[in-house]
Structure 1
Amino acid sequence: MLTIIEEIAKPKKRGAKPSFTPIDVLLMIRIVDKYYLISRTKISKELEIGEGAIRTMIRHLKHSHIIEVIRSGIRLNSKGKDIAKILNDIILYEGFIEEKVLYKLALAKFNYLMILKKLAHKIKKGIEERDIAIKYGTQALVTLIFKQNSILFPDGYPLGEEYAKFKEFLLKEINLSDNDVILISCSEKSISAIRGAYSVLYHFLK
């Protein structure tokens, strides 16, 4: 899957600067899967990427047999649906979380929560993940692990009782299992917070 995505994001002309990244490709597949049928203009607005770059991405995805373009819009074909299923099986939850729930874990205006199924073994200290997310526009990244019915930082230190609302949200809304990863990507721009979370997912998939 990653080989296909990296190939799509690679400039086709020697020396050309890429107009989008593998993270944008992942996001576009998720967006098309979410809407089933979507216009190029809507994709451009969702990703906050110019329509020229979106046209190029669509052309590459079509050439790789991941999407098909019909009169009423863009949709995934069987190969694209297979990739979407892999992502759907890994991503247990994603969405913006209110500051009142996160308390001091809300480190910017937009705080994007992503929960990944049983990928704790991919984490070292959480620093590498933070640096990757920052590269893609996030201002801060919080990495947590669910283990033995507890929410822990990568060093094994438990999340404090002052975060009771966040713990309650996680345990009530999401069916967590041992070694699930909890990411909070924080940025002043919503799309940057989303890209930060997806950049860590992409890193874990390597």
Structure 2
Amino acid sequence: MLEELEDLFESSTIRPTFSYVHIILALYIFEKHPEGIGRYRLKENLLIGSGTARSLINKLSEIVDFIEVSGNNKRRGHVLTDKGLRFLKMLKKKIPLLEEGNTKALEEIIIQDKKLNAYICLVKNSADKLNSGIEQRDAAIKVNGSGATCLIFDGNDLKYPKSPNIQNNQVKIGYDLQKYFKLKATEHNTELDKDDVIIVGLGDTSERARLATLNSALTLIE
């Protein structure tokens, strides 16, 4: 799936400073703004500079034809093209849920500073690519997030990944939190299936938590 985006990184001079997570998140953001979104608002959402945002918009428009000027009016920003919508639809079959989490409801697994913001992501049928969750935590930290916690659905319960420090079976989360995640899946017209993975990413701002969560999720996507 991500190989379709490789052309966006080609350059005769300097390699672009955006990464896959910025491309994917940009598509989610464009979808949420069907009236159009401009470069300034995009950079604020993606936590990138103006030059990087300009480069990303140009490449999404000119190289892969995923976005276009809204109603031929640049002042209204850009919107997704039919091609961009098709790619996002395919992507959302793998990641159907990406939304801000309720830190009060997530207290069981947020053991750090309660002032942190949280985002929730559901990655379908990806448990076979998950080990202890360290790679996903590191991916969150790589984009200046505060970490990430992964949970695997075994068909009945959501459980923590196996840890080299724990010899017995995987530990499942509490009933209320199980119910919370299942409700979130339902709200996004999906449900938890065996081998699905839930990721909770943390950050000092909502935008940072979202970026951290999605970057963690991309480690489970080919």
Judge same fold: TM > 0.5, yes or no.
yes
| Distance in 1 between residues matched to 2:184 and 2:15, nearest whole Å | 42
- Please state if 1:77 is matched with 2:81: yes
Counterparts of 1:124-163 in structure 2, within 5 Å, are 124-155=131-162, 156-161=169-174
Out of 166-175 and 146-155, give the one that drifted further.
166-175
Higher-helix-fraction structure: 1
Q: Which runs of 5+ in 2 are unaligned?
A: 163-168, 186-190
Higher-strand-fraction structure: 1
- Please state if 1:96 is matched with 2:96: no
Counterparts of 1:166-205 in structure 2, within 5 Å, are 166-174=177-185, 175-205=191-221
**What TM-score results when the alignment is normalised by the length of structure 1?**
0.88
Is the contact between residue 5 and residue 26 of structure 1 (CA under 8 Å) also seen in structure 2?
no
* 1:45 Cα deviation from its structure 2 partner: 2.2
* 1:160 Cα deviation from its structure 2 partner: 4.0
| Distance in 2 between residues matched to 1:22 and 1:171, nearest whole Å | 28
RMSD (Å) for aligned C-alpha atoms:
1.9
* 1:11 Cα deviation from its structure 2 partner: 5.8
* 1:130 Cα deviation from its structure 2 partner: 1.6
| Distance in 2 between residues matched to 1:56 and 1:168, nearest whole Å | 42
Is the contact between residue 119 and residue 209 of structure 2 (CA under 8 Å) also seen in structure 1?
yes
* 1:82 Cα deviation from its structure 2 partner: 1.7
**What TM-score results when the alignment is normalised by the length of structure 2?**
0.82
Alignment match, 2:52: 53
* 1:60 Cα deviation from its structure 2 partner: 0.8
| Distance in 1 between residues matched to 2:87 and 2:134, nearest whole Å | 28
| Distance in 2 between residues matched to 1:98 and 1:86, nearest whole Å | 27
Q: Which runs of 4+ in 1 moved over 4 A?
A: none
Q: Which amino acid aligns with 1:149?
A: N
| Distance in 2 between residues matched to 1:173 and 1:21, nearest whole Å | 28
* 1:17 Cα deviation from its structure 2 partner: 5.4
